[in-house]
Structure 1
Amino acid sequence: MTDQGETLRREIRARLPERLPPRLGIAVSGGGDSVALMHLLQDIAQFEQVALYSATVDHGLRPEAEAEAAWVAEQAAILGIPHETLIWWGWDGAGNLQDQARQARYRLLKDWAKRNEMTAIALGHTADDQAETVLMRLGRTAGVTGLSGMPYIRERDGITLLRPMLGITRKSLRGFLSAGNVDWIEDPSNHDSKFDRIKAREALSGLAPLGISAQSLARVAENLAQAREALDRYTQESARKVAVVDGGDVCIDRSGFELLPSEIQRRLIIGIIAWIAGQGYPPRSAAVDQVVAAVRDGLAMTLSGCLVIPKGDKTWFCRELNAVATQAAAPTEVWDNRWVLSGPEASGVEVRALGEAGLPEVQNWRALGKPRQALLSSPAVWKGESLIAAPLVDYSNGWRAKFAPHWPEFYSSLLSH
C-alpha cells in the first residue's frame, strides 16, 4: 500500500467505531469516492477479520446504470467482496426525483443489510459532499442542526450508517486511485447544473480566495456537530423533567415546558414527533413553531402523523389514527414500524389500530386518564371484525405489546434525531 493509501486508511479507521461488526456492508455507486472506500475498507476489513459485502443501487433512471452496476460487481469480485445490485422501480415521474431516489436508496440498502444480517453500512460521502451540504443548508437559513451537516455515524431503522470519509477530499481519493491504476465511473449528473448540489459545488470553487474550502467547511460542520450534541443533551435532560412516556405516547407538563429556552422547546417537539411518527426529515421550522405555540396556548393540532392534544395542564403527543388506519400486520410482525404484538397462538388474527370500532369494547378506557384520540391509534388484535385484545388500553387477554427491537427508548432517541 502506498504512503498515501496508508494515510487515508488511518483517517478512515479513526472515524469508524472502535469495534467493527463481524459483517459490514458498503454502498458502491462506481464513482471515485465509493470505489476508493471499497479498496481502502477492504484492507481494514481483512486486517480485522471482518466480512465485507458490497451493493450498488440501480435507480433505473439512466440506460448506463445496469452496465455500471455490473462493472462494480466485477471490481468487487477482484477484491473478493460479494456484491449485489439493488433495483428501484418506484419512480413514476411525479414529485422530487432526487429526494425520492435518496429515500429509495436508503430503504433498499437497509433491507439488503438486514437480509444479510449486517448491522452497519459504510457510505462514501466526502469532505466535498459535506461542504456542499453546508452551503445548500445556508441557503435555507438552517440553524445549528442543519449546518452541522451529515454525521459520521447515524442510526437509521436499526442500521448504523457510517461515513468515515467526511474529512477526506475527492481530490485525495482520486489521487489514491490514480496512483494504483484503479478506474472509476464519472456520473454525468455530476455536471448537471440544474441540481442544487452541483450549483453548490460550482459556488464552492469560487470561494477559495476567502480561504473557504471543502475541508474548512467540513471542519465548521464538525464544530457545529459538537454544539448540536450539547444542545441535544440539554434537551434530553429537560425532557426527563417535563415529559412522561405512556405506552407509545408522550405527555408534557405545560408549565415546565414554558420555562425552557425556545431552542430547547423546538428540539423537544422535533424529538417527540420523530419518536412517535418515525425518523425522517424533521418538520419545517414554521410548523414546529406552530406546535410550540399550540402547547403554550393549550390548543390541539396535527403534524407529521402526530396529534397534539391538550388535557388539563398537560399536552399529549400521540399517533394520528389516519396515519395507521389502513395498516395491518400478522402477530410477531412489526406494525406501524414500532410495535410487535405477541400472545396466545391463534389463527386468522391480525394487528390493526383499535379505532372507533374497537374502543367501545374497552369498558374502562376512561380510567386510563389519556385523551380518547390517543387510544384510537393504539395497536390491537383483531379476528375479522371481532376485537381480541388491545394491550395498551388494559384489554390484554394474554397479549403483550412491545416496541420493535430497532425502536429506541424515548429519552435516548433525543440524542440522535
Structure 2
Amino acid sequence: MTDQAEALRSELRARLPEQLPPRLGVAVSGGGDSVALMHLLHDIAQTEQVDLFIATIDHGLRPESKAEATAVAEQAALMGIPQETLLWQGWDGTGNLQDQARQARYRLLTDWAKLNRIPAIALGHTADDQAETILMRLGRAAGVSGLSGMPYARDHNGVTLLRPMLGITRQSLRNYLSRLGQGWIEDPSNHDQKFDRIKAREALAGLGALGISAQSLARVAENLAQAREALALYTQESARKCATVDGGDVCIHRNGFRLLPLEIQRRLVVGIIAWIAGQGYPPRGAAVDQAVTAVAEGQTLTLAGCLLISRRDKAWFCRELNAVATTTAAPQEVWDKRWVLSGPQTAGAEVRALGEAGLPQVPGWRALGKPRRALLSSPAIWSGENLLAAPLADYSNGWVAEFAPQRPEFYSSLLSH
C-alpha cells in the first residue's frame, strides 16, 4: 500500500466508530468519491473482520443510470462484496428534484439496511461536499448549527449514517483511484449550473486567493460543530431547570425561560418541536423567533405541527390536533410516530386522537390542570364512535400509553436534534 493510500485509510478510520459493526453498508454510486470509499473500506474491513455490503441507488433519471449501477455491481463482485441496486420510482416530475432525490436516497438506503440487519451505512461525502454545504447555508444566513455542516455520524430512520471522509478532498480521492488504476463515473449533473450546489462548487474554486479552500471550510465546520455541542449541553441543562414533561407535552415556566440567552431560548423551542412533532426540517428562523416571543409574552400559536398554549406563568407545547385528526393505528402499533397503546383485547378497537368528541366523555379531565386543547390531541382508544380509554387524560380503563421504543427521552433528545 502506498503512503498516500495509508494516509487516506488512517484519516478515514479515525472518523469511524472505534468498534465497527460486524455488518457495514456502503453507499456506492459509481462516482469517484464513493468508489474510493469502497476500496478504502475494503482494506479496513479485511483487517477488522467486518462484512461489507454495497447499495447503489438508481434514480432512473438518466438513460445511463442502469449501466452505471451494473458497473458498480461488477466492481463489487471483483472485490467479493455483495451489491444490490435500489430503484427510485417515486418522482412525479414536480417539486425540487435534488431534495426529493436526496430524501428518497436516504429512505431507500435505511430501509435496505434494516431489511439486511445492517446497523450503519458509510457515505462518500468529502471535504468539498462539506465546504459547498457551508457556502449554500451562508447564503441562507444560517447560524451555528447550520454552519457546522454535515455531521460525521447521525441516526436516520433507525440506522447510523457515517461520513468518514469529510476531511478528505475530492481530488485526493481521485489521485488515489488513478494510482490504483481504478476508473469511476462522472455524473453530468455535476456541471449543471441550475443546481445551487454546482454554483457553490464553482464559487469555492474562486476563493483560493483568500486562503479559503474545501479543507479550511471543513475545519471551520468542525470548530462550529464543537460550539454546537456546547450550546446543546447548555440547552439541556437549562431545560432541566425551566421545562417539565407531562405525558407527551412540554411545559415551560416562563419566568425561567425569560432569563435564558436568546440563542438558548431558540434552541429549546426547536428541540421541543422536534421531540413532539418528530425530527425533520426545523421551522425557519422567523417562525422560531415568533414562538420565542410568544412564550415570553404569553401568546398562543401553532408551529410545525405543534400548538403553543400560554396560561399564566406557564407555556405548554403540545401536538396540534389538526396534525393528528385523521391519524389512526391499531392497538400495539405506533400512533403519530411516538405512542403505543396497549390494553384489553377488544374487537374493532383503534387508536385515534381524543378530539372534541372524546373529551366530554372523560370524567374529571379538568382536575389534571392541563390546557383543554393539549388533551384533544392525545391518543385514545375508540370502538367506532364510543370512547373506550384515554390514558393520558387519566381515563385508562386498563389501557396504557407508552412511548415508541425508538422515541428518545426529552432531555437527552436536546443533545441530538
TM-score (norm. length: structure 2): 0.96
**Structure 1 counterpart SS, 2:13:** helix
For 1:78, the equivalent position in structure 2 comes to: 78
Q: How far did residue 246 of structure 1 move?
A: 1.0
1:117 is the counterpart of 2:100: no
**Cross-structure match for 1:408:** 408
Distance change (3 Å), C-alpha of 1:354 and 1:59:
farther
Judge conservation of contact 1:157–1:407 (CA < 8 Å) in 2: no
Cα pair distance change 1:50/1:335, threshold 3 Å: farther
Counterpart-to-counterpart distance in 1, 2:43 and 2:333: 38
Alignment of structure 1 residues 29-48 onto 2, 5 Å:
29-48=29-48
Pairwise CA distance, 1:69: 1.9
Q: Distance in 1 between matches of 2:156 and 2:412?
A: 14
8 Å contact 1:156–1:279 — kept in the other structure? no
Distance 1:237 1:336, change over 3 A: same
Take 2:367 and 2:296, find their aligned partners in 1: how far apart are those partners? 26
**Contact 1:158 / 1:407 at 8 angstroms: preserved in 2?**
no
State the Cα distance separating 1:407 from its structure 2 match.
Answer: 1.4
Greater mean deviation of Cα atoms: 134-143 or 84-93: 84-93
How many residue pairs end up in the alignment?
Answer: 417
Q: Give the equivalent residue in structure 1 for 2:68.
A: 68
Cα offsets for 1:243-290 (capped at 9, x unmatched) = 101111111000100000001100111111111111111111111000
Q: Which letter maps to 1:218?
A: A
| SS of 1:395 mapped into structure 2 | coil
Matched residue, 1:175: 175
Aligned residue in 1 for 2:141: 141
**Of 103-112 and 384-393, the range deviating more from structure 2:** 384-393
When structure 1 is superposed on structure 2, of 77-86 and 234-243 the one drifting more is 77-86
* Counterpart code for 2:80: G
2:21, 2:348 → 1: CA distance? 39
Q: CA deviation at 1:104?
A: 1.6
Deviation at 1:365, TM superposition (A): 1.6
SS in 1 for 2:103: helix
Q: Does 1:332 align with 2:344?
A: no
1:377 corresponding residue in structure 2: 377
Cα distance in 2 for partners of 1:177, 1:241 equals: 53
How far apart, CA to CA, are the structure 1 residues paired with 2:83 and 2:391? 43
Cα-to-partner distance string for 1:208-232 (whole Å, 9 max, x where unaligned): 1111110011001111111111111
Q: Which runs of 5+ in 2 are unaligned?
A: none
Report the residue type matching 2:192 in the other structure.
D
Distance of aligned partners of 1:21 and 1:346 in 2 relative to their CA distance in 1, 3 Å threshold: farther
Which one-letter code corresponds to 2:41 in the other structure? L
Query: Equivalent residue for 2:279?
Result: 279
* 8 A Cα contact 2:363 2:395, kept in partner: no
Distance in 2 between residues matched to 1:112 and 1:353, nearest whole Å: 32
Q: Counterpart of 2:172 in structure 1: which amino acid?
A: S
Q: Gaps spanning 5+ residues in structure 1: where?
A: none
Question: Secondary structure of 2:200's match?
Answer: helix
Query: Structure 1 CA distance, aligned partners of 2:25 and 2:385?
Result: 44
Percent same amino acid among aligned pairs?
78
Q: Name the CA shift for 1:379/1:86 in 2 (closer, same or farther; >3 Å).
A: farther
Provide the C-alpha distance between the structure 1 equivalents of 2:63 and 2:72, rounded to a whole number of angstroms: 16
After superposition, residues 142-161 of structure 1 pair within 5 angstroms as 142-161=142-161
Partner in structure 2 of residue 130 of structure 1 = 130
1:265 paired residue number? 265
Secondary structure at 1:326 match in 2: coil
Measure, in 2, the Cα distance between the counterparts of 1:59 and 1:155. 23
- Tell me whether 233-242 or 325-334 shows the greater mean CA deviation: 325-334
